Amino acid sequence: MEKSDNLNPAYPEVWAGLECTVNRVGDEYMDQMQLNGHAIREEDIALFASIGVSKMRYPLLWELTAPNGPATADWSWGDRRLKLLQEHNITPILGLVHHGSGPRHTNLADPKFPEGVAEYARAVAERYPWLEYFTPVNEPLTTARFSGLYGVWYPHGRDGYTFGLTLLHQCKATVLAMRAIREVIPHAKLVQTEDLGKTYSTPLLAYQAAADNERRWVSLDLLTGNLSSEDSMWKYFVDSGIPEEDLQWFRDNPCPPDIIGINHYPTSERYLDEKMEGFPEWSHGGNGIHQYADVEALRVKTDDPAGFYSGHKVLLRETWERYGLPISVTEVHICGAREEQIQWFKHVWDSCTELKKNGVNIVGVAAWSLLGTFDWVNLVTRADGFYEPGVFDVRGPKPRPTALAKMLTQLAQGKNYEHPLFQLPGWWQRPDRYFYPFTPENLEEHSQIFLRREESRFGRGTKAYWRLNWNPIYETETIPDGTGLTEEQVHHLENTTRPILITGATGTLGSAFARLCGDRHIPYRLVGRKQMNITDPFSIERAINYYQPWAVINAAGYVKVDDAEDNAEACDLVNSHGAMLLAATCQKRGIQYLTFSSDLVFDGLKQQPYLESDAVNPLNVYGKSKALSEKYVLDMHPKALVVRTSSFFGPWDESNFLTLMLQQLLAGNSFLAPEDIIISPTYVPDLVNACLDLLVDEESGIWHLTNEGELSWADFARKGAELAGLNPSLIQGFSANELQGQQAPRPRYSALSSERGQLLPSLEDALMRYANRMKLSRRIALKTA
């Protein structure tokens, strides 16, 4: 059954995985497959096959299949899914417990847990004797830390004994499960996954870093039978109350992995510092001996330009030298912008390829989170609905392939996936990645950085690993070199990369794209009418020849809705004719093109959110110009991306509705707003980030992008005032019939929704981030006044 047609043996195989965590918090279970829809969507497997992966980590979880034991198991889900994997020539690596506590009648601290897993494993093997690869328990050390040491997951232990108990039970479950499986399938192989991080520290805390760095190997040492009474972790477990005979059992019953699966995230490597004033309060903790901050090592400024970071090349080589067993990177995923996700996978792939060429047996690299992940930014302790897209984006009616899918397809065929942005360094390699330590001089700058991260909703990594109640004293450890780039190297790469060309230099949208391209380190050129007149084809040709962009974003336009009634020709010239000329030039040169339309292409008679397929019927000249623009652009450039959006609000311009309202209320004045015009307000940072992701994904056609929700202008103002800590009763509503000075007719209802995918977060979420930004801006202004 194994698929062995690796097209280029010099490279690892392309694997994939499905985020399938079923973890318990209190009496609540968090089920990723319910959230991502795969639980009820078997057609996903054909999508997974379309990218050409050879092996896939796939779940058949104990607590979902046989919660009351194998005798009453429901195999129907597994029967159908595993048959489809066979039909699509995907070799499954079957997972039985994934960060789980098992069914409700047991848990990781239950002495009967290992035998329960083994009983289920035997039933799986008997049901599917053609299977070959198994991961009975995913990341036992990570799960034990969260469940037994940090109190995050069930059974919420916070002591060395519970940590040791939960770890040993999972490792014993793995040994017994593989023993049971091999009695049915003698050639069955164990693919044992574990997160491999590393800890760095100040000299004072070197003992703690050394303890962490010994602990990271303990699950693999147990399984290989290598943990002995001479090892520090053995002593730690015994001191915590674990009987020595329980540890000796692993030396007598070794079960070395056939493949070691290493999972490593940008947040996996940590830095400890007792000078806590230089680090945010949320990072403060301790071990019973010292109090210290615990932050991402990548973010800490050091005298070494590379900083505190080992990365995959160092960590995988350490694993190879320690165990000499085949290795796969079984999770490659990052929470971030789309180009960062691609850059991260490329970074890992290139590291693994180099190691393989140098003799390290790297057999595969797995794109994790085929369908994305939910709420890993809070360690799946709450159902907040925070979604990180993966290879496919599930925020639409069916999973949508992202740029990652295109990249994996090329790699699986032994080819490279070329794109200008993917050659740029990721943030983890850049010299401007440092946040810490804070100083009085850089505190304001860091506040703005954190705010921008919150605005963009990019976690910049995932799986934030915590350290609590860990206090053995060990020796210091040498910090290896990192893999960062110098400012000169980054500058060269950015200056030799084709940019995005953005029109509308003086407008809200154009300047927002420039700002966020800068934040995302996407090379761009922002131009006004002097640099490129979009109504003049010769001016467009000259600009395209000069800037050589890979994409053009048309953020220019005639925006004065009322003035357009008396200046229809001027409005059409820019909004319709200019957009069309840009589309024609981009189509001819194979350049991606993004332009904008409006909710004003609709007449408001529908009285429920408009979708992309709804017929347009504009009421005014401006709306007609945008409707014509959509038609002209897509006729000229069928692969163009046309984004319809609605009323903007954002932190960077002083003239948007919400900012004007806040200024009036801060001055003690009331504010007037219509009660009977319904809109879908759109937070500019969310809009721009989603547009850039779609552009990287090479999406086309009409998309509706607004924050999820609808309300009147008056309620919009009241909600913004409330979240900003101001008095919402100062908002005075009135009827649109009383509006003065509006020449252009407007729809009373123009809310937008999407049948292609709701990519922007809720309006409530966006308003909260906007209010936080404005509060911080006011504090900074008062502080510097």
Residues 435 and 583 in one domain: no
Q: Classify residue 175: in a domain, yes or no.
A: yes
Place of tokens 């709420």: 375
Beta carbons of 367 and 16 less than 8 angstroms apart: yes
pLDDT of residue 5: 52
pLDDT of residue 448: 59
Spatial CA neighbour of 334 closest among 317, 346, 324:
346
Residues 391 and 512 in one domain: no
Beta carbons of 564 and 621 less than 8 angstroms apart: yes
Q: Classify residue 471: in a domain, yes or no.
A: no
Q: Give the burial class of 130: count Cβ atoms within 10 A of its Cβ; 0-12 exposed, 13-18 middle, 19 or more buried.
A: exposed
pLDDT of residue 591: 97
Residues 434 and 566 in one domain: no
**3 state DSSP class of 42:** coil
Q: Classify residue 2: in a domain, yes or no.
A: no
pLDDT of residue 263: 96
Contacts of 152 (CB under 8 A, 6+ apart): 25, 146, 379, 381, 466
Q: Classify residue 343: in a domain, yes or no.
A: yes
**Would you give the DSSP letter of residue 147?**
I
Write out residues in the chain with pLDDT < 50, as ranges: 1-4, 457-462, 464-483, 780, 782-785
**End position of a domain, from candidates 424, 439, 456:** 456
Beta carbons of 211 and 472 less than 8 angstroms apart: yes
Instruction: Report residue 746 as tokens.
Output: 């407007």
**End position of a domain, from candidates 456, 480, 514:** 456
Residues 370 and 502 in one domain: no
- The per-residue b/e assignment along 74-95, b for 16 or more CB within 10 angstroms, e otherwise, is ebebbeebbebbeeeebbbbbb
Residues 391 and 527 in one domain: no
**End position of a domain, from candidates 391, 424, 456:** 456
Range of the domain at 76: 13-456
Residue 762 half-sphere exposure toward CB, CA atoms < 13 A: 7
C-beta atoms surrounding 239 within 10 Å: 12
Q: What's the total number of domains in the chain?
A: 2
Q: Classify residue 140: in a domain, yes or no.
A: yes
Q: Give yes or no: 622 in active site.
A: yes
Q: Which CATH number goes with the domain that contains 286?
A: 3.20.20.80
Q: 407 vs 389, 550, 624, 640, CA distance in Å?
A: 15, 17, 39, 21
pLDDT of residue 443: 60
Residues 300 and 182 in one domain: yes
pLDDT digits (tens, 9 = 90+) for 74-95: 999 999 999 999 999 999 999 9
pLDDT of residue 449: 58
Q: What is the pTM of this model?
A: 0.91
Q: Which CATH number goes with the domain that contains 544?
A: 3.40.50.720
Q: Classify residue 465: in a domain, yes or no.
A: no
Of 622, 632, 683, 749, catalytic: 622
Q: Classify residue 737: in a domain, yes or no.
A: yes
Amino acid, res. 411: L
Residues 435 and 505 in one domain: no
Beta carbons of 125 and 185 less than 8 angstroms apart: yes
Q: Which residues pair with residue 262 across a beta bridge? A: 194, 329
Inter-axis angle of helices 537-547 and 579-589, to 10 degrees?
40
Residues 152 and 256 in one domain: yes
Residues 508 and 392 in one domain: no
Residues 36 and 146 in one domain: yes
Residues 451 and 515 in one domain: no
Q: 685 vs 15, 391, 453, 592, 707, CA distance in Å?
A: 34, 23, 11, 21, 11
SS3 per residue for 286-306: ECCCCEEEEEEHHHECCCCCC
pLDDT of residue 432: 81
CA distance 318 to 305: 22
Its sign, for the CA torsion 341, 344, 346, 348, is: negative
What is the C-alpha radius of gyration for the chain, rounded to an integer number of angstroms? 28
pLDDT digits (tens, 9 = 90+) for 240-282: 999 999 999 999 999 999 999 999 999 899 999 999 998 988 8
Q: Give the burial class of 735: count Cβ atoms within 10 A of its Cβ; 0-12 exposed, 13-18 middle, 19 or more buried.
A: exposed
pLDDT of residue 651: 87
Residues 697 and 583 in one domain: yes
Q: 210 vs 263, 308, 480, CA distance in Å?
A: 20, 15, 13
Inter-axis angle of helices 113-127 and 160-184, to 10 degrees?
30
Q: Classify residue 504: in a domain, yes or no.
A: yes
CA distance 186 to 520: 51
pLDDT of residue 777: 65
